[in-house]
Structure 1
Amino acid sequence: MIHSRSKLRMMIVSALFAAIIGVMAQLTIPLPLVPITGQTLAVGLAATILGSRYGTITVLVYLAMGAVGIPVFSGMSSGLGVIFGPTGGYLIGFIPTAFITGYYMERTSFTFSHAMVANVIGMFVALTFGTVWLKFIAELSWTAAFMAGFVPFLIGGVIKAFLAAYAGILVRGRLLANRLLLA
């Protein structure tokens, strides 16, 4: 009974983080092809706090919400057209980003320095997926895709990685102390 309650608690926390990603996606700085959004920060937070399993579940719930029409993607958008559009690679890339970031944290320790490394790795995973997707969907050259889909996001990505690492470790500690999270 205790195990099923703990599992339910984690599923509720995952659903809350999926909603947080949707809210953070609305913080947008528009650029020509791909906007800068807060959703990558929220994915990093979810993975840092929840780990690989529940961080990945969180992203899958977020993507499912958007796929069925709930306006949780950037600019209050939704639908399969967004997932399969020019920015879809970043959205799909959030799945391995959450898993790899959380997995790194679980295999090392939940400290700021490890969280920073994990989130920088996650940033590169998301940017790589997004850039490759953008290259094929927008029919760009590799150079053009790299310059439009990777380079403009490096500085912001490192800043978001820092914020996700710092806040993630802090929030995780508080959630664990209050028994709202599985260790």
Structure 2
Amino acid sequence: MSTQHERLRMMLTAAIFAAIIGILAQLTIPLPLVPITGQTLAIGLAATILGSRYGALSALLYMLIGAVGLPVFSGMSGGMGVIFGPTGGYIISFIFSAFFIGWYIEKTGVTVLHAFIANMIGMIINLAFGTAWLKVMAGLSWPEAFAGGFAPFIIGGVLKAFLASWIGILARKRLASARLLPQPAPKRTA
């Protein structure tokens, strides 16, 4: 298969994952400041399966689709008001989180353990950026922002990181063996 066809296939797959993120965003447990959603699970899956470049692309596409007003954010919301609102930092950080998760797995190895470490760090990136944004946009103190935007998501984040790692590595290996994902280049040894 030519490189151009492979690139097109991966871009289409990233677009499909953007839709999956939008679907899982509707799985919501409301909390006072920031709801618990399936978005972070979907971001972890996208990055674990697609890697840094296309995982980040899926997160970017998701954000852009929501920014133009399509109701893909949690609670069937959309628009620039959500991006620039108190919870927008979490959405923006998905791009960086997805890139890091995919990059870490690409650099260390396609294993559940490496994926779990990557997804845990990705969760911290997401929560830290989102909490800082929440503090500024909602005019909260650091303890208030931490209590409302970070602490309630740690246990669920660990569970989602495990699920994204386990399911993501399984799916990635099966898709690669079916030649639906690019085969990783063999590692050189000295």
- CA shift, 1:69, in A, is 1.3
Which residue in the other structure is 1:167 paired with? Answer: 167
Gap runs ≥5 in structure 1: none
**Code of the aligned partner of 1:71:** P
1:181 matched to 2:181? The reply is yes
Q: Number of residue pairs matched? A: 183
TM-score, L = length of structure 1: 0.99
Residues 15-26 of structure 1 mapped to structure 2, 5 A cutoff: 15-26=15-26
Partner secondary structure for residue 69 of structure 1: coil
Note the C-alpha offset of 1:53. 0.4
SS in structure 1 of the partner of residue 31 of structure 2: coil
Q: Equivalent residue of 1:165, what SS? A: helix
Find the counterpart in structure 2 of residue 149 from structure 1. Answer: 149
Q: Does 1:3 align with 2:3?
A: yes
1:92-131 mapped onto 2 (5 Å cutoff):
92-131=92-131
Deviations 1:16-66 (A, max 9, x none): 000000000000000001000000000000000111000011111101100
- Whole-angstrom distance in 1 between the partners of 2:180 and 2:16: 12
SS of the residue corresponding to residue 71 of structure 1 reads: coil
Cα offset, 1:11, TM superposition: 0.5
- Corresponding residue for residue 63 of structure 1: 63
Pairwise mapping of residues 59-98 of structure 1 onto structure 2 (< 5 A)? 59-98=59-98
Match of 1:44 in 2: 44
Please, which runs of 5 or more residues in structure 2 have no aligned partner?
A: 184-190
Letter in 1 for 2:161: A
Give SS of 2:153's match. Answer: helix
Instruction: For 2:15 and 2:168, locate their aligned partners in 1 and report how far apart those are by CA, in whole Å.
Output: 17
For residues 49 and 174 of structure 1, the distance between their equivalents in structure 2, rounded to whole angstroms, comes to 10
> Which residue identity lines up with residue 61 of structure 1 in the other structure?
L
Distance 2:117 2:42 in 1: 16
- Kindly report the root-mean-square deviation, in angstroms, between the aligned alpha carbons of the 2 structures: 0.8
Distance 1:66 1:180 in 2: 28
Residue 101 (structure 1) shift: 0.6
What's the offset of the Cα at 1:95? Answer: 1.0
Distance in 1 (alpha carbons) for counterparts of 2:61 and 2:148: 28
